Copies of this chain bind each other. A is one copy, B any other.
Amino acid sequence: MDTTSGSTSRMDTTHADRRGPFWDVLAGRAAPPPAAQLLGWELVHVDPAQGAIEVAFQAGEQFLNPAGVVQGGFLAAMLDDTLGPALVATLREDQFAPTLDLHVQFLRPARPGRLTGRGRVVKRGKEICFLSGELHSADDTLLAVATATARVQTIR
């Protein structure tokens, strides 16, 4: 994990002057979006220069399937909220980047508790960006991997 200048955790203020939906939430100028709140989303570390992010989620009992493990779709939601922010953290204030597609492989069942997502921008095109990432359990077991494609758009 890169901890040189340019990287940001909740504790430092390197990017305190940056604006946009992602940075406004981090700086407390805006509430986290409802989907992020529902997933217990929390920033652990972000490095916009590298297009890399680490986030945490709280997998609650409300995400369980009939087998008593987290329904795969909610792991997909967490991975979407890992890969997306890895890219969003690199955008200008007047840009956003909807996900075009998302592919998730479910390697192991996930129990309720804290899960960690690590995401990165694999290739940053002018418009089309390729993303990848993983979801780990609290004991760092690899639970699921994902790739996604997103398209950078300028607002107005």
Instruction: Kindly identify, within residues 10 to 53 of chain A, every residue whose CB is under 8 Å from any CB belonging to chain B.
Output: 21, 25, 33-39
Distance between Cα atoms of A100 and B117 in the complex (Å): 19
Q: Mark A45-87, 1 if CB is under 8 A from B, else 0.
A: 0000000000000000111111100111110111111001000
A103 within 8 A of partner (CB): yes
Min C-beta distance of A21 to chain B, whole Å: 4
Instruction: Kindly identify, within residues 92 to 141 of chain A, every residue whose CB is under 8 Å from any CB belonging to chain B.
Output: 96, 98-106, 109
**B38 with A62: CB separation less than 8 A:** yes
Distance between Cα atoms of A35 and B76 in the complex (Å): 13
Please count how many residues in chain A sit with their CB below 8 Å of the partner chain's CB atoms. Answer: 39
User: A34-B62, A38-B63, A64-B35 in contact; A73/B102 too (CB < 8 A)?
Assistant: yes
A98 contacts across to B, CB distance below 8 A: 67, 72, 106, 109
A64 contacts across to B, CB distance below 8 A: 33-35
**A74 with B77: CB separation less than 8 A:** yes
Distance between Cα atoms of A71 and B102 in the complex (Å): 12
Subset of 14 A-B contacts with CB under 8 Å:
A33-B64, A35-B64, A35-B70, A35-B74, A38-B62, A38-B63, A71-B77, A72-B102, A73-B78, A74-B77, A76-B76, A76-B77, A99-B106, A101-B103
